[in-house]
Structure 1
Amino acid sequence: MKKLLILLCCVLPGFFARAAEEPAPSYLELRPVIFSLTMIMMHDVVNPPAASRYYAYCMAGAYEIVAQNDPSVTGLGKFVTSYPAYTIGKQPGTYDFRVAAVYCVLETGKLMIPSGLQLQEEQAKFLKTLRKNGVAQKSIEAAVKVAEGMAAHIVKWSKTDNYFKLSALRRYRPLKGEGNWYPTPPAYMEAVEPNWATVRPMIIDSCSQFKPAPPVNFSKDSTSEFYRLAREVYEVSVKPDQEKLNIAGFWDCNPFAVTTSGHMSIGFKKMSPGGHWMLITGIACKDAKLSVEKSVVAHLMVGLTLMDAFISCWDEKFRSNRIRPETYINRYIDPRWQPLLQTPPFPEYTSGHSVISTASAEVLTYLFGDNFRYTDDAEVMFELAPRTFTSFRAAAAEAAVSRLYGGIHFRDAIENGAATGRELGQFIVEKLRGSGVAGVW
């Protein structure tokens, strides 16, 4: 009997460890839920910085539900200092906290995103699927109650981050000066979120904590370094090979591009860069066969990273306020030239995709390890073929250089943006490591 007890003591811990690593049931997979959020944001044409904010808050509540039910998961307040504590009350009967976490993502999105009420349909589908899979009605009701309480708390917290003060700030006007950004064709849209740096970050200390190296000085001189940068963008676009075209298109991620036909303007909606990386996170979670708990952790960490990376990048964009390649090339090299991708409506330096992609890749590498091979099919809905990457860092490097191929960024904005994103991402990794969030699963 004594030997049997010793054997059980040795075997059972390993059994429970393996049980905890069992992949999520298909009906609890997060990727379809994140996709639903993304589609609603596409419908609303949510700009990239704002989209990152929605992803961060939508995942925060789910994470806290997991943390309060799984002792191995570090509480949100350990690494997000602005988070106000909230304790889930006791519920009548038992419930699956994983169900509550997934439902909370949809509930938070419903409350926060402008057209979020459309997520009620997704919630109804989710509940129907739970019933089909034998989840008891009382358990479902208890999980929903927990999710609704947490989502309400998260929304209340979100209202303290200065986002709702943005509309009261002074409207942006393009600055005079040959080297400054100016709205570009065909829509000549006004600057997107010029005051975004005033939004409270999640993990980094401040919007200006990670200032990039200064941009190359503006010059019209054909022998200058700046002219060389512009000439490189121009020459890449003259006869791009098919692979460069594929890379530029795959990482376009322009939430709202406009094309004209005669007197008619036609808009095309796509997901934001942050949306692309959230879907990449879902792909990695599925490929790694992660549990619901770890999948929630991964999505939150990327969501927080995206939000902070956009705050940091936008701080620099409206400080340096640099001219776009399209404007410079049309003025000083070729008045008929057009970039492959449509120029986004905000200053050029640094490249946002370079910053947020590199930062996200650092966090994902910490969680999943380097050399994590995966196939990214996030852009299939836009009739773009999947691309396979040997690591998250390789994907980020491709996302960064895509802006050169697309004709919307100079090389120094790409390289210095990637350097800033790497530094920011590594800072977040150290914060997570110090707070007990384990890496390399």
Structure 2
Amino acid sequence: MSSLEPSHRDTRMDPYIDQYADRTGSMTVSAVRALFSVANRPEVVSLAGGMPNITDLPLGRLGDSFDKLVQTKGVQAMQYGSGQGEPFMREKVVDVMAEEQIRANSDDVVITCGSQQALDLVTRIFINPGDVVLCEAPSYVGALGTFNAYQAEIHHVAMDEHGLVPSAVKEAVTTLRAAGKRVKFLYTIPNFNNPTGIQQPLERRRELLAVAHELDLLVVEDNPYGLLTIEGEPLPALRSMDPDVIYLGSFSKTFAPGFRIGWVLAPHAVRERLVIAQEAAVLSPPVFSQFAITDYLDNFDWRGQIVAFRDMYRARRDAMLQGLSDHMPAAATWTRPTGGFFVWLTLPEGLDSQALLARAVSERVAYVPGNAFYADGFGSRNMRLSYCFPTPERIYEGTRRLGKVIRDELEMRATFGLPATEVPHTQVGGPAPDLS
């Protein structure tokens, strides 16, 4: 044997396992991303992903506009930029936030690579291993992944049909602090929560902020869907009522996700640390994307485009609700969202959404099992259904296929006398809507 050859062969699947940082042990593959390879097959009706439908954008005119941008400002647009984001982009963000009654100074805005990076930066500067983050039950899977990556302890707080329950927030903070835990912040999606689609009414927002003020509890408001209301006008953001709220925004849902531009609006001292963290991560957010989005906001009817998106998503939401009403068994319930992208369905007792997924895919329909939106194993009787991307006809067909899967499972269990499986779950949003 040559002296240059190793004396033994490492047969582990990952030979670097002993070299990773401890925090990588809590990193997991996103349940949504894991479904992409299946859900993107053309024969499958995907009710899984939360991809916005951007086909209604004026793509031809946008192409001409961006071509002109490269020719006239290409040298600046394709160069490095400010770690905080370009001043003109931050000013436009202030204009967009004013649609939800937020008054802000552009100096307190930090542009990020989508709101997902905004959430990562906020978590990075606040969370030490073992610190507690409060989240809705259920909560956005991408947020849970971020909190896990920084070794936070995630504590879910109860929701009802109006969103987070303020008394439950108070009880959780009081109990955790009495146990010696450090509760760093409350993370909430007040507008059309991902995954339930529930919106916090105005009075509930006031109650929640009053509890946070009483407890000296930092609130992080994630608001990608606020302008995409399909019934009524947008509600005032939490940040519009309290300048201490850290606000996360994005152009991914109201324009296009491919540009990867989001932002954080934070108190001045927090902003300084966010900029330092941002520069360490990416030096500067995408400069060309900032030029492109600013060009769009300056030269296109972006408010009118949002109205068009609302109409489109309303038709898709209605198709899903009608399909669920027509095809689900009587014991199933679901939320009735007034905006956003998602419906939260609760299966009849004894069924497990994770166990049903393989059968659903074989019937050419996909969804996200509910346990992906919990850090504590709950949600097994739930599933998130997305209506944002398929056509109304495809959505309705998807609910028919899904209903068949659920009814077949119920029939099989009845035939063989199988007992109900006790699985942890949550039912949010009340009974199924009456669409007759």
TM-score range, shorter chain: under 0.3
Q: Select the structure that is richer in helix.
A: 1
Normalization by structure 1: what TM-score? 0.25
Q: Select the structure that is richer in strand.
A: 2
